[in-house]
C-alpha cells in the first residue's frame, strides 16, 4: 500500500495526488515549503518550522487558508496515517490555480500539500569520516533581489549549483555571494570552528535562517561553546580547525575536505563531534507528539 498524501483538503493515495497544470506553484514557483523531521513519533521543532512558513508566506502575500493549529493537526494526521515513526514531512503551500499570466491576484485558494515519508541524505560513514565538498561557481542569489529567508518553491539557484557538485563527484557544494563571502552550502548551513569557537555566516549575506542552525545556537549556549556570526572568506574556511554543515535532512554532518584541502587533520573534530552527540540527544527528547 502506498503513502497517503494530504492535498486539496483531503487524503488521497500518492499516485492520485495531483495539482492543476495552472497552479502557479508549478508555473512560476510561487509558494513556500518546509521540511520537518519526525523522531520517535515526534515532529521536531514544529513550531519553528511553521513560524518560518507563515512568515515567508506573509512576505509574498500568500494567505495560508487554514489556521496554524489546524495545519498542525493535518501534519500530525498525515504522519499517523502513514505510520511514520522516523521520517520526514514535506509541507508545501502553493499560490493555487490561476491562468497563464503572472498575476497572483487571479489565483484561487492556495493549495496545501503534506507528504510524510522517509529520507536519508548521506550514508552512515559520512558522519564518521566527514564530507568532501567543493566551492561551486554558481553564486547565491543576491538577498536584496530574493531573500533567502523566504523558503520558496523556486530552487533553480540550488539546482544549478548541485549540477557542479555531481560533476565534481563531491558530497556537497559551498556557495559564495557576489562579494565573495561564503553564504552556505547548496542546501545546508555552513559552520567552521576556530580555536574552539563556532562561526557561521550571518543570514544577511545570503544564508537561510535554518532550523537546525537555530538548534546549534541553542546547543552551544547549553554546552558553553562560543558561537558567533561572522563574514567568512574561503581562506578562513581553508584555515579552520573544523567544519560542519547543518540541515533538517542532513542534521549535523562533519566536513573534512574543502576544495581538496584537509580541514584540521582531515578528520571530524572534537567540537563537531560534541555538537553531533548533543544534537542526537536533543532531537530524541524534544518535539510535538503526533498522537
Residues 216, 228 contacting (CB under 8 angstroms): no
Q: Which three cell numbers stand for residue 40?
A: 520517535
User: Whole-angstrom Cα distance, residue 62 to residue 109?
Assistant: 10
* Residue 86: CA count within 13 A, CB half-sphere: 4
Query: Which of the 8 DSSP states describes residue 152?
Result: B
C-alpha triplet 182, 209, 76: angle, nearest 5°:
140
Per annotation, catalytic residue among 151, 197, 273, 280: 151
**Catalytic-residue membership of 151:** yes
User: Whole-angstrom Cα distance, residue 43 to residue 75?
Assistant: 9
Residues 174, 137 contacting (CB under 8 angstroms): no
Active site residue ranges = 151
Amino acid at each position: 500500500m502506498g503513502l497517503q498524501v494530504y492535498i486539496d483538503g483531503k487524503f488521497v493515495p500518492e499516485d492520485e495526488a495531483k495539482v492543476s497544470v495552472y497552479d502557479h506553484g508549478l508555473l512560476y514557483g510561487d509558494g513556500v515549503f518546509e521540511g520537518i523531521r519526525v523522531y520517535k513519533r515526534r515532529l521536531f521543532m514544529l513550531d519553528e518550522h511553521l513560524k518560518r512558513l507563515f512568515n515567508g508566506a506573509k512576505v509574498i502575500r500568500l494567505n495560508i487558508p487554514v489556521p496554524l493549529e489546524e495545519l498542525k493537526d493535518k501534519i500530525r494526521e498525515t504522519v499517523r496515517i502513514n505510520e511514520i515513526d522516523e521520517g520526514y514531512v514535506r509541507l508545501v503551500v502553493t499560490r493555487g490555480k490561476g491562468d497563464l499570466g503572472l498575476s497572483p491576484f487571479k489565483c484561487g485558494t492556495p493549495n496545501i500539500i503534506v507528504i510524510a515519508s522517509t529520507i536519508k541524505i548521506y550514508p552512515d560513514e559520512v558522519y564518521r569520516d566527514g564530507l568532501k565538498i567543493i566551492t561551486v561557481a554558481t553564486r547565491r542569489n543576491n538577498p536584496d533581489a530574493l531573500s533567502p529567508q523566504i523558503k520558496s518553491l523556486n530552487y533553480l539557484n540550488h539546482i544549478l549549483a548541485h549540477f557542479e557538485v555531481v560533476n565534481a563527484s563531491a558530497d556537497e557544494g559551498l556557495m559564495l555571494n557576489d562579494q565573495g563571502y561564503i553564504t552556505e552550502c547548496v542546501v545546508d548551513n555552513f559552520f567552521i570552528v576556530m580555536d574552539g569557537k563556532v562561526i557561521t555566516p550571518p543570514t544577511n549575506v545570503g544564508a537561510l535562517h535554518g532550523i537546525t542552525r537555530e538548534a546549534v545556537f541553542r546547543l552551544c549556549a547549553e554546552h558553553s561553546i562560543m558561537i558567533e556570526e561572522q563574514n567568512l572568506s574561503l581562506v578562513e574556511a581553508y584555515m579552520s580547525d573544523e567544519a560542519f554543515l547543518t540541515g533538517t535532512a542532513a542534521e549535523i554532518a562533519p566536513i573534512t575536505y574543502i576544495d581538496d584541502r584537509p580541514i584540521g587533520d582531515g578528520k571530524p573534530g572534537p567540537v563537531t563531534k560534541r555538537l553531533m552527540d548533543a544534537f542526537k540527544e536533543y532531537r530524541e527528547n524534544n518535539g510535538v507528539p503526533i498522537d
